Every structure is written in C-alpha cells, then in structure tokens.
C-alpha cells in the first residue's frame, strides 16, 4: 500500500448503527440524536435499514425508529421496516442513564432521556 491509497473503514450509516448498538462508546443517545440531525440530508435511509436488517437486533431498530420519528426524518417505508422489530419486550432507550421512564412511546422503549431533552439539544 502506498500513501495515495485509501481504505474505507466505515460510512455514516454504519457508524450510526454501531453507536445505537453501543451508546456508551459515543456519548449516549443524545449525542447520537445530534449526529443524526446534523447529517440527516446526507443519510441513505435504505442503507440504514439494510444495516439494521443485517444486524437483526431489535433494540437497535427500535432506537433508530424512535429517533427518526421523533426528529421527523426518513420516510414511512423506513419507519414501517423498523416497526417490524417491535415485540412485547421493553428495552432501555439509553443504557448509559438510569432506568427512569420519562416519555411513553409505541416503540416499546423505556425512554429515560425524554423527547423534550432531545429536541432541546438539537434545537428542534
């Protein structure tokens, strides 16, 4: 390999999925929400859904769907594709925070962050 060769290690969509899988390594859900908001016009939402399908983790799909719905980005097909991962089990929205339910949602997530806080952080 010489100095002019480039190696692609990740892309925006894969990075988002990795962050939603391990929020503790990227500052928690609020930082992920901020990042998604900043790159919302550059995202390939079908690629995001493909990564979710490939990973096949319900909690990641639910966190992504909840954030996209909350931020009012993406389209209805992406939301429907993510909704199929919602099962009976409740998962913690942000595992880096204490288990305190702040908001209710249809994604079966224990929202311990709060929609208001996320919207305030991104200046929605």
Position 88 scores a pLDDT of 92
Phi-psi category of 16—alpha, beta or left, where left has phi over 0 and alpha has psi -120 to 50? alpha
The residues near 49 (Cβ < 8 Å, ≥ 6 apart) are: 78, 81, 82
Per-residue pLDDT tens for 33-67?
A: 999 999 999 999 999 999 999 999 999 999 999 99
Contact 114, 103 (CB under 8 A): yes
Question: Mean pLDDT, 10 residues at a time, over the chain (124 residues)?
Answer: 71 97 96 96 96 96 97 94 95 93 91 93 77
For residue 111, list its beta bridge partners: 103
């Amino acid at each position: 390999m010489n100095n002019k060769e480039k190696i692609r290690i990740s892309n925006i969509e894969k990075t988002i999925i990795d962050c939603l899988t391990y929020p503790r390594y990227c500052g928690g859900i609020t930082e992920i929400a901020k990042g998604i908001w900043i790159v919302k016009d550059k995202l390939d939402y079908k690629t995001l859904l493909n990564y979710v399908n490939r990973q096949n983790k319900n909690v990641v799909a639910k966190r992504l769907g909840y954030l996209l719905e909350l931020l009012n980005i993406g389209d209805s097909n992406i939301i429907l594709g993510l909704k199929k991962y919602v099962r009976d089990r409740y998962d913690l929205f942000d595992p880096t925070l204490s288990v305190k339910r702040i908001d209710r949602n249809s994604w079966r997530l224990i929202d311990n962050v709060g929609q208001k806080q996320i919207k305030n952080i991104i200046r929605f």
